[in-house]
Every structure is written in structure tokens, then in C-alpha cells.
Amino acid sequence: MSSVPSQNSFVDGVESSRRDTFMAIEAAKQLTSNGTEYKYDEKDVILYNLGIGAEATQLNLVFERSDDFETLPTFGTIPPYSSIPPFNPDLPYTMEDILPKFSLPMLLHGEHYLEIKRYPLPTSGILVSHSKVVEVIDKGTAAIIITAATTKDAITGDEVFYNEFSLFVKDAGGFGGPRKVSDRGAATAVNNPPVDREPDLVVEEKTTRQQAALYRLSGDLNPIHIDPGVSRINGFEVPILHGLCTFGIAGKHIHQNFGRISNMKVRFAGVVIPGQTLQTKMWKEGKRIVYQVVVVETGKLAISNAAAELID
């Protein structure tokens, strides 16, 4: 006759599973990937600038021979992209070790933080991005995995960019982990706009129907942004615009109107369909720009809890 597992054995099994998860998380946090190389030139910079809405008349963004040709600060999200999602294959721990309930279709890019370490930003070069796990948060029904990438100049070793990707994984919580994100300054700050005054500046920009098709050529090839079949499986009637494309458009507005950016943090609050109009609302508070991005056609937020710190 087979024995029936006792309540104690069930509890012991749950606790053992949780210990294994915690051990995998802590071990993964101690590791850094070998590095992913990113080689680029002026054409890649122009392609990115066009992907976030640069006009043909803006020679500083689209003409490599322009005296003030520049790399926009949000280009810093591009070099590490291939080394981040969904997880680094060169690490001995898989995403399933860290989150037993992990499912790739349940993965959403929830928040993003970018820090620019040096100016002027080179318009060509070879960069290397090293990524790692920062922390894993248990939100009950969901989990948040925060990964970071430090991007360095491959020749000098100088840091150029630092990114944090906050990845929201539905149905992956309940493993008994920490419930709150640790305080990491600007990277985790909650940025609420003033309620007692109107924005200091509002910039409106209409995206194009080709925006996602163009932006994806800079590195984010997720088919949800180009294939209607994949977008419908994920609950969207048509392909949606990349969150980091909206991030780049907002960063462009801040950079063009207020100057050099030290860091930017956003929460992706809603969906943008290529062809819709984006309105970046900005409140200046000293060296800090608190901002939101609203989809004009729907009145809904695309970006919230966002702020940029200025150098000048």
C-alpha cells in the first residue's frame, strides 16, 4: 500500500523548492556575463535617430558630415540589448532556475533606467556590455527580474553607459522572495509630476506607421512589433511600438530643449500603436526634468513615473 504524503512532507518540499530558488538567485547575482561586443558607425547612429523620429532636415541627427552630428543619449539602450533578454546563455543559471514558473510569453518590459557616463558620445566605435542579475522581486502573482548592463569602450575600458532593465513576469510570483525593490537612487525613484502647476514645456510628435519597422533594425527584433499574428497572440490587434522607442522620443525632446542628460528613468504605462501622436509633458525642477508621455488619440499614458537628470 502506498503511503500518503503528510502535511509536513508537503511543507518541507515547498521550503526545499524555495531554498533552491533563493540559492539560484543569489548565485546568479554574483555572476557577470563574459561581455557582448557591439561595433557601430555613423550609419547605425543615423538609423537609430531615424527610428525615434529624426527629420531629414535635422542634419545634426541624419548627416554624418554635419559639424554638429551627434549620438543622442538614449542610443545607450542599444549596445547591451543582445546581452539582456531573455537571459544570458553563457551563465550557468537559466531563467527557469531563478523563477521556476517563468514563461517567456509572460515577460514584459516594465521599467527602464539609463545612465550616460561620458560626453561627448562617440559616433562610432566598439563597445562591450557586461550584464548581470541585480535582484528578483516577488509580487505575489507576478515577479520582477531586474538585470543590469555596464557598457564600456572596448579599447579604453572607460564606462560609457549603464542600463537597468526591469522585467515584469506575470504568473511567476509566490516563491517567497522580497516584496520591495531595494533603493538605488534615481534608478528606483518614484517620479510624480507636480499637481499644482501645468508643465513647463509640452512637445508633440506624431509617429509614423513605419516607426516600429524602422526602429527594430537597431536591435530589438521581437516579432510583436512587426508580425500581426504574434501581436494578436499577445492580445494586441496590430503590432505595437517598442517601449524603448517611446523612451527615445521622450529623451530626444528633453535633450533638444534642456541639454545634456545624466540619467533617465521611466515606467512603461501603456501601449503605443505606430501612427499615433505622442505628447511629452515636462516639468523642470532644478536639474531634474519630471515628465510623462501621453498618447493624444486615447488620452492614456504611455510613460509614467519618469524623470531625467541634467548635467548642465
**What are the cell numbers at 35?**
561581455
- The string of DSSP letters for 200-236 reads SEEEEEE--TTHHHHHGGGS---GGGT-HHHHHHTT-
- Provide, for the chain, the percentages of residues in helix, strand and coil under a 3-state DSSP scheme, each rounded to the nearest 5: 30, 30, 40
Catalytic residue among 46, 84, 240, 303: 240
Using alpha carbons, select from 264, 266, 273, 267 the residue that is nearest to residue 311.
Answer: 264
Q: Is 177 part of the annotated catalytic residue set?
A: no
Q: Is 243 part of the annotated catalytic residue set?
A: yes
Catalytic residue among 220, 224, 249, 251: 220
What one-letter code names the amino acid at 185? G
Catalytic residue among 243, 254, 255, 303: 243
The alpha helices in the chain, defined as continuous H runs, are: 7-29, 42-51, 59-62, 95-98, 211-215, 228-233, 243-258
Please give the Cα distance from 140 to 142 (Å, whole number).
5
Please give the Cα distance from 268 to 311 (Å, whole number).
24
Cβ distance 303 to 251 under 8 Å?
no
Please give the Cα distance from 21 to 28 (Å, whole number).
11
Q: Is 90 part of the annotated catalytic residue set?
A: no
Catalytic residue among 35, 52, 177, 225: 225
Cβ distance 80 to 69 under 8 Å?
no
Q: What is the largest CA-CA distance in the chain?
A: 85
Using alpha carbons, select from 75, 68, 18 the residue that is nearest to residue 52.
Answer: 75
Residue numbers annotated as active site: 220, 225, 240, 243
